[in-house]
């Protein structure tokens, strides 16, 4: 899922842009006083978590909204989910206390591959395998640190949805409302294959593994170009990148768009975090250690909304409908978009309509379950 969409020579409209300074609001840091043990039984010491809060937390009164970000996101949800979160958006700091934390393994302040190991050198490709379950457990440690007793609404899309689902299974009593967007119960073979192809591009960069956080920038750019094909759709590319000049034989807009998106990410992210987080996504399987996926999903007690995107090939509708069928009393809605998986960042009017109906109207307006664009 792509957060920095401003493109060169493109007609993309209304797509959020990640600022060149990805932490544009004041962030906070939580430092764990004890080692963190990953799901794979690896020990991480001196972990820190960078997070943002918006609004005032009043125990027993504030409605807490907790957003979980996707693969290359950060803790400033007002920056990358504009339209849904913001000063005057649906989720705003006047009405809610909002929290978003940068995930373990990322490069926006939370402990990740660029942080030092015991020998003082950056861990880089020696950073351990982590999972969405690890991320969820770290979110819960942060929740306790902040002093939040319960979360009114937990929301996430893509990898963010995987974290949110794990957290709702791990701590079912503290999540009141759960909103899962364009996500799944177990990452698919198709999704894993896409991620591996991206990692192969990074591994193939001769600078990968040389010991510097800036290694493999060319490989990372190629990886992002590959990823864009899974984040968007045929109709989306035709709508924004198709040529009108029948005589053109080279220099296509679609080509420059792919290069631009690759270069853009390479300037703000690092290859080691990209590998770490894509592997975390691959590892996602709520059934691991819980008898079965269905058994795990039966543990969710939160009032649940599952949202799919009709053009999403990376997380197809069938995956969200499985969640709806497997989580007790879950509601399902589908949004219509030309932007594929990235529709969750673009179709905010539809999302607001659906979420408002779910939270405040007992989902009475949800039929038909597809909210068409005007």
Residue ranges with strand state E in 69-174: 97-101, 151-157
Among residues 27, 75, 106, 158, the one annotated as catalytic is 158
Pairing, β 370-371 against β 331-335? parallel
Q: Would residue 245 show up in a list of annotated catalytic residues for this protein?
A: no
Determine contact, residues 67/100, Cβ cutoff 8 Å. Answer: yes
Among residues 338, 341, 357, 366, the one annotated as catalytic is 341
As a whole number of angstroms, the distance between CA 167 and CA 173 comes to 10
DSSP letter for 40, please: T
The structure tokens listed for 16 are: 């959020």
SS3 159: helix
Residue with token string 């008898």: 291
As a whole number of angstroms, the distance between CA 162 and CA 79 comes to 21
Among residues 76, 312, 338, 357, the one annotated as catalytic is 312
C-alpha distances in angstroms, 5 versus 16, 86, 230, 261, 346? 7, 19, 14, 7, 10
Q: Would residue 115 show up in a list of annotated catalytic residues for this protein?
A: no
The structure tokens listed for 300 are: 């969710």
**270, exposed or middle or buried, with CB in 10 Å at 0-12, 13-18, 19+?**
buried
As a whole number of angstroms, the distance between CA 338 and CA 343 comes to 7
**How many Cβ atoms are within 10 Å of 225's Cβ, its own excluded?**
20
Residue 368: asked if its preceding bond is cis (omega within 30°), the reply is: yes
As a whole number of angstroms, the distance between CA 355 and CA 177 comes to 11
Q: Would residue 341 show up in a list of annotated catalytic residues for this protein?
A: yes
Nearest to 11 by CA among 257, 248, 312, 247: 257
> For the residues of 183-198, what is the DSSP string, one character each?
--SB--HHHHHHHHHH
Q: Which residues are known catalytic residues?
A: 158, 312, 341
């Amino acid at each position: 899922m792509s957060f920095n969409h401003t493109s060169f020579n493109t007609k993309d409209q209304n797509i959020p842009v990640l600022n060149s300074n990805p932490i544009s609001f004041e962030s906070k840091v939580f430092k764990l006083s004890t080692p963190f043990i990953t799901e794979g039984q690896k020990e991480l010491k001196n972990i820190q978590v960078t997070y943002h809060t918006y609004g005032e937390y009043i125990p027993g009164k504030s409605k807490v909204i907790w957003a979980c970000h996707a693969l290359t996101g950060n803790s400033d949800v007002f920056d990358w989910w504009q339209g849904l979160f913001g000063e005057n958006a649906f989720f705003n700091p006047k009405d809610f206390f909002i929290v978003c934390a940068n995930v373990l393994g990322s490069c926006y302040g939370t402990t990740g591959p660029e942080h030092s190991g015991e020998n003082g050198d950056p861990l880089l490709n020696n950073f351990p395998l982590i999972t969405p379950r690890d991320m969820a457990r770290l979110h819960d440690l942060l929740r306790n640190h902040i002093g939040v007793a319960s979360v009114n609404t937990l929301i996430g899309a893509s990898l963010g949805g995987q974290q949110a689902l794990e957290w709702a299974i791990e701590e079912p009593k503290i999540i009141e409302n759960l909103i899962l967007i364009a996500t799944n119960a177990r990452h698919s073979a198709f999704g894993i294959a896409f991620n591996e192809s991206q990692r192969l591009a990074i591994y193939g960069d001769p600078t990968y593994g040389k010991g510097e956080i800036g290694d493999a920038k060319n490989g990372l750019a190629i990886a992002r170009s590959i990823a864009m094909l899974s984040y968007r759709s045929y109709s989306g590319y035709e709508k924004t990148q198709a040529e009108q000049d029948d005589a053109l034989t080279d220099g296509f807009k679609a080509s420059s768009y792919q290069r631009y998106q690759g270069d853009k990410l390479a300037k703000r992210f690092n290859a080691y975090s990209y590998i770490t987080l894509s592997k975390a996504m691959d590892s996602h399987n709520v059934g691991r250690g819980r008898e079965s996926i269905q058994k795990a999903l039966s543990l969710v007690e939160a009032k649940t909304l599952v949202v799919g995107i009709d053009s999403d090939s990376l997380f197809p509708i069938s995956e969200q409908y499985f969640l709806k069928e497997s989580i007790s009393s879950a509601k399902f809605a589908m949004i219509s978009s030309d932007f594929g998986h990235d529709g969750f960042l673009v179709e905010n009017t539809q999302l607001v309509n659906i979420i408002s109906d779910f939270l405040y109207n007992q989902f009475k307006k949800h039929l038909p379950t597809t909210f068409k664009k005007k």
